[in-house]
Chains A and B, each alone.
Chain A
Amino acid sequence: MIALLLTILGPLAGSIWITAIRRKIAYAALTGSLVSLTGSVLLFLYMIEGKIITATFAGLPNLPFRLEVTELSAVLALVVSVITTFIFIYAIGYMAEEKGKLRFWSGISLFLGAMQLLVLAGDWILFVMAWEIMGFASYLLIGTWYWKKEAGDASTKAFLMNRVADLGLYVGVFVIILTGGSSQIAAEPMQGISMAGALALLLAVIGKSAQVPFQSWLSAAMAGPTPVSALLHSATMVAAGIILLLKAFPLFSPEALIWVGSVGGVTILLTGATAVFSEDIKRMLAASTSSQLGFMVLAVGAGYPGAAIAHLIAHAFIKSSLFLGAGIFQHEIGSTKYEKLSGAGKKLKLTFSGFALAGLALAGIPPLIGFWSKDAILAAGLQADPAAWYFPAASIGAFFTAIYMGRAFGILWKGKARPDETPQRSLPWMHTGLLTLVAATAVGGLFLDPLVEEAGFSIPKGTLAMISGLIVAVSGLPIGWFAPAPVFKKRIWMFFRDNYPVAGGYNRVAVQPMLALAKGFNAIETSLLQAVFVIGTAFLAIARWLSEGIDRATAYVIDWIGAFNLKIARLSGFTDDKGIVEGIALLVDSVQRLGYYGRKIQSGLVHRELAWSVYGMVFALIIILLTYL
């Protein structure tokens, strides 16, 4: 119970400290995450012992809030807090010389707390709450540098896209509660939910996990600081969508799972292509995140949540390492564009080797962690009954992965190293965070299997999957490395690079037709106005002709009335002067005198008067009390 609270409330307390006290903010955040780490380690140990921890507390009527440590949530909470802690360590170095520290650290702590709440939530309402807090925190974090227009736009875009998708979560949870009569997240529910409910939940997953067609907020979110990207893309935020899928998996019918898998498959292919043709290292990583999450969605859709969990864990470690590496490059070079980064790897050999190791893991080179998880996904695709194209989609996606990682390595390593421009004093912090995570990706493969077993799932395996995964990885990397740069820069690939601006993007589809429509309305209105003007002129002429006749007739009458009124006015003026004016003067004089005496009574000090009225009130109270006694 205490461990549960430590895990969730540690970072939240850190966030409150940072917002309220504003001292030692980075260390407060780090302490919060360490507390969370301690809590989640304890939870994990309890879970291994077989203790089941649940906490129920007051919520809605008949729908109490529950926190529950299941096998799955204990493993996920541990992964989340481990990764976040190292990202925090890295961020101390990264943010040392950046602006916006306060917003960054308070936001990121809030984010961690919300994520732990989401992972450990045992009922859907608490889950929705955590989901919403996380959406808000991501808005804050992406907009850390809110004075840049790009960052402000990106945070709004991310928030709005997520809001649209969140609608799905609300509808889905509503359907779940209506169907099952309880808001509890059950491992073995009595009955599944309807197709509509499942699709609503899928919409929420698509939004949060940046699946097609909501993938573009993730690239835009690159406007935030790199540790934010690392966190958003690895163990939190996008992972929340997968966690939703895992928690809702028992409720899905086989027909609904086909939809889930199709979304995953389409996303793998489309965003994988985007990553291949990106011209910016962080955008490449963002598109790759969408693609890798597509793998997980596909695995769930294929009916193997164990493979999805394995890939979730593996990807979390890999992607956070990649982002941390990219962040060091960004700090050193001052840009994330490929052309500027060319040759940066030779200067920063340690960072490059960490980045490369993580990248190889993502491409699926044994014995790194990514090989095992990708193998699991491929096997899941192969063994899945519902759709035959899961395996080809996953293989092509893995091939894309190898190409874009190979391309990134090539760009970072080939080319001349530039001379030092901005010496970094805070590199040790950043290297600590990066290298620890890279070490985890290197040896994590050994622990992946037992960890997923511990979470109560199994990883599908297959020789064919393993061999084909290895083949696409080994063939893709050289393609990316050796392919000449201009191949990727051609205009035809713009479509992929810019996240599929369908039919010229929103500009062509929505803006220009609206402008044309507005122009048409403008023309109609102008001609209407002209017609009105003509009619008006005609009536004016008629009116003039009529009025001349009437004028002459009325003028006589009015003259006469005027003369009569004048006489009355003279009479009343006479009485005014004599009687009323003098009376008023007397009144004014007496009021003035009254005021003169009146203000003698006042002290003129507001507080003294207020105090008097309080005394009066107390006096009145005493009298009332005495009457009752």
Chain B
Amino acid sequence: MELLITALIIAAVLFGIGLYGVLSQTNLVMIMMGIELMLGAAMVNLVAFWRYLHPEAFSIQMFVLVAMTVMALEGAVGFAIATQRFRTSGSVEMEESAELKG
């Protein structure tokens, strides 16, 4: 139980840091880093609950692996967007990226 609560607290702190990063940063790359942290927190939760509730089943670990894959994909796509954005406009500041609005 103590282990679960420790893990949950760590996850909550991670999530909070990630959320703060997402909301406070204007740089696309930094926002993505925040998102990664939040995803990480979610995965810590998953693992913690798996250990606490169903330590005999391994299916939940698969969820974490899937989430990790998604994280990697998200990173790849995000960075591709950031690179492209930087090539076209020379900056990845999100405040300056509202042209699609028209």
Determine how close the nearest CB of chain A comes to the CB of B99; give it in whole angstroms.
Answer: 8
Q: Is B3 an interface residue (CB 8 A)?
A: no
Contacts A606-B31, A606-B97 given; indicate if A611 touches B23 (C-beta within 8 A): yes
B101 touches A610 (CB 8 A): no
Residue of chain A at shortest CB distance from B98:
A604
Q: Give the contacts of A573-629 with B (CB-CB under 8 A).
A: 599, 602-607, 610-611, 614
Determine how close the nearest CB of chain B comes to the CB of A607; give it in whole angstroms.
Answer: 7
Q: Is B94 an interface residue (CB 8 A)?
A: yes
Partner of B19, one of A605, A606, A614: A614
Contacts A614-B19, A614-B23 given; indicate if A607 touches B94 (C-beta within 8 A): yes
B23 touches A610 (CB 8 A): yes
Interface string of B60-102 (1 = CB under 8 A from A): 0000000000000000000000000000000000110110111
Tell me the complex Cα distance, A602–B100, Å.
10
What chain A residues lie within 8 Å of B102 (beta carbons)? 599
What chain A residues lie within 8 Å of B31 (beta carbons)? 606, 610
Tell me the complex Cα distance, A119–B100, Å.
66
Closest 5 CB pairs of A and B: A604-B101, A604-B98, A606-B94, A610-B22, A605-B98
Tell me the complex Cα distance, A606–B96, Å.
10
Interface string of B1-29 (1 = CB under 8 A from A): 00000000000000000010011001000
Determine how close the nearest CB of chain A comes to the CB of B76; give it in whole angstroms.
Answer: 19
Contacts A606-B31, A607-B26 given; indicate if A599 touches B100 (C-beta within 8 A): yes
Determine how close the nearest CB of chain A comes to the CB of B9; give it in whole angstroms.
Answer: 17
Dominant secondary structure of chain A at its interface with chain B: helix
12 A/B residue pairs, CB under 8 Å, sorted by A: A599-B100, A603-B98, A603-B101, A605-B94, A605-B98, A606-B31, A606-B94, A607-B95, A610-B23, A611-B23, A614-B19, A614-B23
A604 touches B26 (CB 8 A): no
What chain A residues lie within 8 Å of B97 (beta carbons)? 606
What chain B residues lie within 8 Å of A599 (beta carbons)? 100-102
Determine how close the nearest CB of chain B comes to the CB of A297; give it in whole angstroms.
Answer: 49
A604 touches B22 (CB 8 A): no
Tell me the complex Cα distance, A605–B98, Å.
6
Determine how close the nearest CB of chain A comes to the CB of B20; give it in whole angstroms.
Answer: 11
Tell me the complex Cα distance, A201–B41, Å.
45
Give me the interface of A with B, judged by CB distance under 8 Å: 599, 602-607, 610-611, 614
B100 touches A604 (CB 8 A): yes
Question: 7 other contacts beyond A603-B98, A605-B94, A605-B98, with CB at 8 A cut-off?
Answer: A599-B100, A604-B101, A606-B31, A607-B23, A607-B94, A607-B95, A614-B23
Tell me the complex Cα distance, A604–B96, Å.
10
Tell me the complex Cα distance, A614–B97, Å.
21
Interface string of B32-53 (1 = CB under 8 A from A): 0000000000000000000000
Tell me the complex Cα distance, A606–B92, Å.
12
Tell me the complex Cα distance, A365–B5, Å.
69
What chain A residues lie within 8 Å of B100 (beta carbons)? 599, 602, 604
What chain B residues lie within 8 Å of A614 (beta carbons)? 19, 23
What chain B residues lie within 8 Å of A604 (beta carbons)? 98, 100-101
Tell me the complex Cα distance, A611–B24, Å.
10
What chain B residues lie within 8 Å of A607 (beta carbons)? 23, 26, 94-95
A605 touches B95 (CB 8 A): yes
Residue of chain B at shortest CB distance from A596:
B102
What chain A residues lie within 8 Å of B22 (beta carbons)? 610
What chain A residues lie within 8 Å of B95 (beta carbons)? 605, 607
Determine how close the nearest CB of chain B comes to the CB of A592; give it in whole angstroms.
Answer: 12
Tell me the complex Cα distance, A614–B95, Å.
18
What chain A residues lie within 8 Å of B26 (beta carbons)? 607
Determine how close the nearest CB of chain B comes to the CB of A414; give it in whole angstroms.
Answer: 66
Tell me the complex Cα distance, A607–B28, Å.
11
Residue of chain B at shortest CB distance from A617:
B19
What chain A residues lie within 8 Å of B23 (beta carbons)? 607, 610-611, 614
Tell me the complex Cα distance, A483–B19, Å.
77
Tell me the complex Cα distance, A611–B19, Å.
10
Tell me the complex Cα distance, A605–B22, Å.
13
What chain B residues lie within 8 Å of A605 (beta carbons)? 94-95, 98
Determine how close the nearest CB of chain A comes to the CB of B77; give it in whole angstroms.
Answer: 15
Tell me the complex Cα distance, A602–B97, Å.
13
Residue of chain B at shortest CB distance from A613:
B22
Determine how close the nearest CB of chain A comes to the CB of B102; give it in whole angstroms.
Answer: 6
Residue of chain A at shortest CB distance from B99:
A604
Determine how close the nearest CB of chain A comes to the CB of B29; give it in whole angstroms.
Answer: 13
What chain A residues lie within 8 Å of B19 (beta carbons)? 614
What chain B residues lie within 8 Å of A606 (beta carbons)? 31, 94, 97
Determine how close the nearest CB of chain A comes to the CB of B80; give it in whole angstroms.
Answer: 17
Tell me the complex Cα distance, A557–B42, Å.
64
Determine how close the nearest CB of chain A comes to the CB of B16; give it in whole angstroms.
Answer: 12
Tell me the complex Cα distance, A606–B94, Å.
6
Tell me the complex Cα distance, A602–B94, Å.
15
Tell me the complex Cα distance, A408–B63, Å.
72
Tell me the complex Cα distance, A461–B101, Å.
93
The CB with the most chain B CB atoms within 10 A, among A599, A602, A603, A607, is that of A607
Tell me the complex Cα distance, A438–B64, Å.
64
What chain A residues lie within 8 Å of B94 (beta carbons)? 605-607
Determine how close the nearest CB of chain B comes to the CB of A601; give it in whole angstroms.
Answer: 11
Tell me the complex Cα distance, A603–B94, Å.
13
Residue of chain B at shortest CB distance from A611:
B23
Tell me the complex Cα distance, A611–B20, Å.
11
Tell me the complex Cα distance, A607–B96, Å.
11
Tell me the complex Cα distance, A80–B102, Å.
71
Determine how close the nearest CB of chain A comes to the CB of B19; give it in whole angstroms.
Answer: 7
Tell me the complex Cα distance, A611–B26, Å.
13
Determine how close the nearest CB of chain B comes to the CB of A139; give it in whole angstroms.
Answer: 31
Tell me the complex Cα distance, A68–B72, Å.
48
Tell me the complex Cα distance, A525–B22, Å.
59
